[in-house]
Chains A and B, each alone.
Chain A
């Protein structure tokens, strides 16, 4: 089933066009990887999906992005509610300078998701368990989140993202600052999370895209060159540019 439908999306930074006529369907409860060289527009596209580009003054977005058949670029869209439904994890782990507990409970608190301390405790525990971090931190929930290792911090950020029960999780190079073991833990987590969430991941690692995703889109110079099943893209892509990029023949 299609969860997100991008249709004819153009993005401009001032007069400079960053994305050209992007149309892409994202399948529900699957992982879609966006790949392409630096500056190709994949992160810009990712940020369109929860209207993160709104915070950039000179950025304007045209075209439709339908999530559950609702156009999120419509004026009636409540952006705070949208970002509750579309969580995001960034390249560099960015826990709040607060305790582990507060990091995870922050979202549910501002969205009024818990009626009691006990309910909030449950949300924090469930989120940390889903992020595969609970066992490691259950005895130090009131210590600063910034005291964790890089991989743990990133899992904390994932716990924070999933605490508000988003339908979609956007990941912008979530493992680029992590060692191979922490990367494997995040990849295992992505596999688990896709059962309940739709995941879109931007990555520079071809191997990671091949490992974690079921669908892959290749961006180049602001255009979506090719998209399809990950299996097809990495074994037998249709487009020469895609093949040149994934085999290391670019530029």
Chain B
């Protein structure tokens, strides 16, 4: 459905503004995740510190979006597509904020890790991270294009992330078992892997919200899942 502009121009502007802030927040999260992964895989402390410092920017977007949503509901009483835009923005901002937090947590752990990590571990982490980054990008594209099929693609792709997470976890556990000295780094890497997987989950949540935004109905059925996780956690 293509929407004509609102008769009340200020209402139109407020919705456009909300939409723009979601896009900016999404881009900030994409950047944070990208830098966090680059920081850990290339051992770049500057990137890690940048992610930690920039998280405040993402938190501020969430607060701003929440304020805009409350104002829209109180003052405009949005209906139909406008209601879905408004409610979806609130839910998306909450998931995006978590993505920012998890990227920050990865970066904090990066600063504590030993300089030399085994190549097989870095490769396994790179594989799952690349997949999650791709998912996040596709999700934000789906939002920009208001595309339900693109959102469904992301939703279905969560399964692959689960599988890659498990492979990465297996590598970390192997590393932990090799030598007691690996305990600190290995534990951080387990959390990093789990954080990457959680970012994938939040990305899938956002994709579900985009589907609802476009279609006005919820994606039905259970989210596709990969092999049973090695480390149990909230799905």
Contacts and interface: CB of A to CB of B under 8 A. Distances in A.
B109 interface: no
Given A236-B216, A240-B2, A246 B79 contact: yes
With a 10 A CB-CB cut-off, give which of A206, A207, A237, A243 has the most chain B CB atoms. Answer: A243
Interface residues of A, number: 17
24 contacts: A206-B77, A206-B79, A207-B77, A210-B79, A234-B79, A235-B80, A236-B80, A236-B217, A242-B80, A243-B1, A243-B80, A243-B81, A244-B4, A247-B6, A247-B79, A247-B80, A247-B81, A247-B82, A248-B8, A249-B4, A249-B6, A249-B7, A250-B4, A251-B7
* Secondary structure of the A contact surface, majority rule: helix
A248 B3 contact: no
B68 to A, nearest CB: 17
Q: How large is the interface on B (under 10, 10 to 19, 20 to 34, 35 or more residues)?
A: 20 to 34
Contacts of B4: 244, 249-250
Interface of A: 206-207, 210, 234-237, 240, 242-244, 246-251
Contact of B7 (A206, A242, A248): A248
A185 B11 CA distance: 30
Contact of B83 (A235, A242, A248): A235
Could you tell me the dominant secondary structure of chain B's interface residues? loop
A249 B79 contact: no
Interface of B: 1-8, 11, 77-84, 215-217
Contacts of A248: 6-8, 11
Contacts of B5: 249
B72 to A, nearest CB: 12
A234 B215 CA distance: 14
A152 B1 CA distance: 44
Top 9 closest pairs, chain A to chain B, by CB? A236-B216, A249-B4, A246-B79, A243-B80, A247-B82, A240-B1, A234-B79, A249-B6, A248-B6
Contacts of A236: 80, 84, 215-217
